[in-house]
């Protein structure tokens, strides 16, 4: 650390007073951190995004002060090896010096002008060069915005209303994309309270990777389907790798029926190569959604594709989409600095090797402890599933969640910060090294043994 100080001032820290009981289902607990107690009175569940609440693993969220390289620092100064890495956005690690220097230089000029800047043009040019099939791009503020906007654009371009999505994929919290499979195999029901059934009436939700279901939905509704939206490698139900023929089948069906194929690469874009994941898998979509890495850890999103499609976006066309903070100097600068380092250093072979080392070590450590696990990995992104022999009444998912919760807390005790949910992916960064993986595997070996004892 460079001694630049805490995020909060001492005066702000003194303002954390505990008065009254926490709200939102968080019970009073003498061990509950003061910051979290206050947060629970002021924010739903004490957090600004659900998975941060630790509800999937139990316990109290870690209060974070800062980070450097591959490590998080909590408010006591304790350090943790981080495998969350800003949910995949920090591929260079925390507070990378080149990104920080670029931000410091840029922020002397200001940070949001509500007008065109040269940095936006440079980032747009880079994305059009690096991402296959993208001729024009629109910067937005989040992955949710990117996916929502791409779907709207596809509907306008095709003149159709129906959209196909897959149950294991996540495309943000826009109403039309918060769905679960309906009873007839093609329709959808809302997966969130507050989403009226009418909002998902034109969304068709299928099992991820099921080619037969995909062919069936096109046979039933092909002339009505505007778009198929999919994560080419799933990252929000653990790591989900598609079967070899699934994405080519989707491409072929979209071509046959005049439907647009949208790849949601908010997680995967620039994660495995300098550019899109679709190029690696041999399938080119019509529209691509990006986020996370292209902002270097600051809020950003983008969607892009062929010029004839993108020219429908306002002000050129009638597809309205706007944003006060879109293309703001801070996010664009951090993104450019990150992408420049990635292009210059090409760390992807190293990240893949590190991922392979971690995968092998986790599988061996679990086996040594007498546990059966499956490590799902694609490059530097992986997830861990427990496959216990004795499955209780709650079924495999509930038992896996229980095992994972115990494993998570055993790892946290040993200074390893994992995603606080079994359904989220782990991420490696260029700041991780073989020694970090060795330390993680030592901790995991001990944690697996403790999990095995509890059963």
Active site residues: 170, 264, 292
Task: Find out whether 237 and 423 touch, Cβ atoms under 8 Å.
Answer: yes
Cα separation, 421 vs 400, whole angstroms = 11
Q: How far is CA 289 from CA 80, 311, 329, 355, 364, in A?
A: 32, 16, 20, 25, 36
CB-based burial, 52-70: b 16+ in 10 Å, e otherwise: bbbbbbebbbbeebbbbbb
Structural element, H or E, at residue 251: helix 246-257
Residue 241's nearest CA partner among 274, 272, 216, 214 is 272
DSSP assignment of 268-309 equals TTTTSSSS-HHHHHT---SEEEEEGGGGTTSS-EEEEE-HHH
The dihedral built from the CA positions of residue 15, 19, 24 and 26, taken in this order, carries a sign that is positive
How crowded is residue 307: how many other Cβ atoms within 10 Å of its Cβ? 12
Cα separation, 137 vs 150, whole angstroms = 11
């Amino acid at each position: 650390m460079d001694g630049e100080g805490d995020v909060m001032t001492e005066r702000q820290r003194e303002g954390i007073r505990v008065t009254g009981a926490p709200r939102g289902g968080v019970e009073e607990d003498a061990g509950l951190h003061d910051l979290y107690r206050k947060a629970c009175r002021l924010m739903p569940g004490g957090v600004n995004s659900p998975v941060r609440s630790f509800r999937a693993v139990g316990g109290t969220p870690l209060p974070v002060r800062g980070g450097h390289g591959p490590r998080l620092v909590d408010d006591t100064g304790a350090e943790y090896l981080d495998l969350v890495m800003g949910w995949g956005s920090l591929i260079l690690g925390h507070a990378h010096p080149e990104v920080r220097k670029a931000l410091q230089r840029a922020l002397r000029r200001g940070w949001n002008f509500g007008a065109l800047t040269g940095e936006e043009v440079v980032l747009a040019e880079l994305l059009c060069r690096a991402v296959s099939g993208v001729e024009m791009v629109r910067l937005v503020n989040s992955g949710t915005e990117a996916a929502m906007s791409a779907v709207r654009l596809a509907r306008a371009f095709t003149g159709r209303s129906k959209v196909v999505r897959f149950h294991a994929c996540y495309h943000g919290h826009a109403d039309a994309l918060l769905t679960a499979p309906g009873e007839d195999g093609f329709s959808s029901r809302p997966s969130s309270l507050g989403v009226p059934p009418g909002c998902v009436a034109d969304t068709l939700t299928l099992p991820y990777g099921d080619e037969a279901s995909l062919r069936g939905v096109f046979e039933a509704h092909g002339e009505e389907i505007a778009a198929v939206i999919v994560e080419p490698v799933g990252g929000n139900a653990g790591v989900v790798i598609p079967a070899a023929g699934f994405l080519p089948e989707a491409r072929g069906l979209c071509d046959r029926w005049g439907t647009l194929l949208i790849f949601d690469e908010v997680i995967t874009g620039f994660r495995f190569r300098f550019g899109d994941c679709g190029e690696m898998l041999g399938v080119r979509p019509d529209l691509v959604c990006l986020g996370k890495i292209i902002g270097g850890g600051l809020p950003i999103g983008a969607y892009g594709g062929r010029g004839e499609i993108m020219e429908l976006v306002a002000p050129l066309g009638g597809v309205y989409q706007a944003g006060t903070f879109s293309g703001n100097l801070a996010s664009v600068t951090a993104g450019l600095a990150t992408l420049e380092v990635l292009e210059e250093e090409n760390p992807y072979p190293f990240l893949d090797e590190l991922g392979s080392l971690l995968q092998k070590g986790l599988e061996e450590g679990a086996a040594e402890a007498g546990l059966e696990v499956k490590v799902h990995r694609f490059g530097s992104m992986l997830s861990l599933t427990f496959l216990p022999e004795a499955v209780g009444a709650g079924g495999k998912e509930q038992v896996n969640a229980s095992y994972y919760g115990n494993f998570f807390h055993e790892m946290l005790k040993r200074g390893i910060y994992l995603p606080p949910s079994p359904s989220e992916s782990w991420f490696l960064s260029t700041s991780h090294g073989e020694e970090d993986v060795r330390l993680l595997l030592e901790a995991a070996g001990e944690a697996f043994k403790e999990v095995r004892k509890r059963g």
